[in-house]
Structure 1
Amino acid sequence: MDIKQIQELIKFVFKSGVNEVSIEQKEFKITIKTNQPPTYTIGAPAQPAAQLLAAPAVVATVTSAAEPIVAAPVKEDSSSYLTIKSPMIGTFYNSSGPDKPLFINVGDEVKAGQVVCIIEAMKLFNEIESEISGRIVKILVDNASPVEYDQPLFLVEPI
């Protein structure tokens, strides 16, 4: 199985809504797990552990770059919130220096054009301005952590 077939399989598993798929062939075994809520089915008994250890395992986890990974279930309805997304790949900073105040905190009101964070890319510090106005409900990224293009950074409640 080549990398293109594996990528197509990952896409198929993610779209189908299945939580986990395992495929075993002569030379390899692949297990694809998604982070969707589990669905339970009754099937054949699991293979003995000795058979599972016989082949090398490749584990692929499918996540969507546009959706943040949430460790605990969110109790609030986030469908009414707007997001401020990262316009570039880099490192997220919520202040201009370690001893400087934060650009924004949860509960602060933000206006369009206001600087909300800095993203460092290739030793350049880029000020990221909000394109929307509202109240910051949640900061989705930790300080000094890497961010991807179009990754949600903040949840904003429109005013």
Structure 2
Amino acid sequence: MDLREIQNLIKFVAKSGATEVKLEMDDIKITIKTTNEAALAETTAYVQHVPVQTALPQANAGLPTSPATPVTPVAVEENAHYITVKSPIIGTLYRKPSPDKPVFVEVGSTISKGDVLCVIEAMKLFNEIESEVTGKIVKVLVDDASPVEFDQPLFLVDPS
């Protein structure tokens, strides 16, 4: 069983609402325990990370639009040529390898495929998130030590 399969198992358990899962294979024994408090914290974190631009048009459906509404599509079009690096797992994102070290990448950093962009702690395991593209970091979308959800945008990369 490789790391990716273990991460998928952790995601599955977190979404299923199960409190404990034990898996025993030939040479591997895995036990995943969750609590209702952890599930509640993750749910709360997800609600806090809902983009305001996405939530407002749905909430105001049928009401007159404000002059600020057309600004959202323009911002999306400006970022259309950037590649979004998304979180492959649920956990806590750290931009530094340790508190006394500098961040892995900053805005303006040139990255190559395979460079470590950050680490995400999930179930007491620190998973290095590596770049799948070569380019330049244009925007960091998540603060250090913040909770992240699966598929949440983390960085914008200019591939040119």
Same fold (TM over 0.5): yes
Report the alpha carbon displacement of residue 98 of structure 1 after superposing the two structures with TM: 1.2
Alignment of 1:15-26 (within 5 A): none
Aligned to 1:138: 139
Name the structure where helix makes up a greater proportion of residues.
2
Distance 2:88 2:154 in 1: 10
Gaps of 5+ in 2: 1-53, 66-73
Displacement over 6 Å in runs of 4+: none
Alignment of 1:72-83 (within 5 A): 74=75, 77-83=78-84
Q: 2:56 aligns with which of 5, 26, 35?
A: 35
Report the alpha carbon displacement of residue 75 of structure 1 after superposing the two structures with TM: 8.9
Report the alpha carbon displacement of residue 74 of structure 1 after superposing the two structures with TM: 4.6
Report the alpha carbon displacement of residue 101 of structure 1 after superposing the two structures with TM: 0.8
Q: TM-score, normalised on structure 2?
A: 0.55
Change (3 A) 1:34 1:150: closer
Q: Deviations over 1:38-87 (max 9, x none)?
A: 5418xxxxxxxxxxxxxxxxxxxxxxxxxxxxxxx959810110011111
Distance 1:114 1:123 in 2: 22
How many aligned residue pairs are there?
Answer: 96
Give the letter for the 1:138 counterpart: K
Q: Deviations over 1:82-111 (max 9, x none)?
A: 011111000000001111011000001111
Distance 2:109 2:123 in 1: 30
Report the alpha carbon displacement of residue 151 of structure 1 after superposing the two structures with TM: 0.7
Distance 1:126 1:75 in 2: 30
Give the letter for the 1:127 counterpart: E
Distance 1:86 1:118 in 2: 10
Q: TM-score, normalised on structure 1?
A: 0.55
Report the alpha carbon displacement of residue 34 of structure 1 after superposing the two structures with TM: 3.5
Gaps of 5+ in 1: 1-32, 42-72
Give the letter for the 2:99 counterpart: P
Alignment of 1:5-154 (within 5 A): 34-36=55-57, 39-40=63-64, 74=75, 77-154=78-155
Provide the secondary structure at the position in 1 that maps to 2:132: coil
What is the identity percentage for the equivalent residue pairs of Structure 1 and Structure 2?
Answer: 56
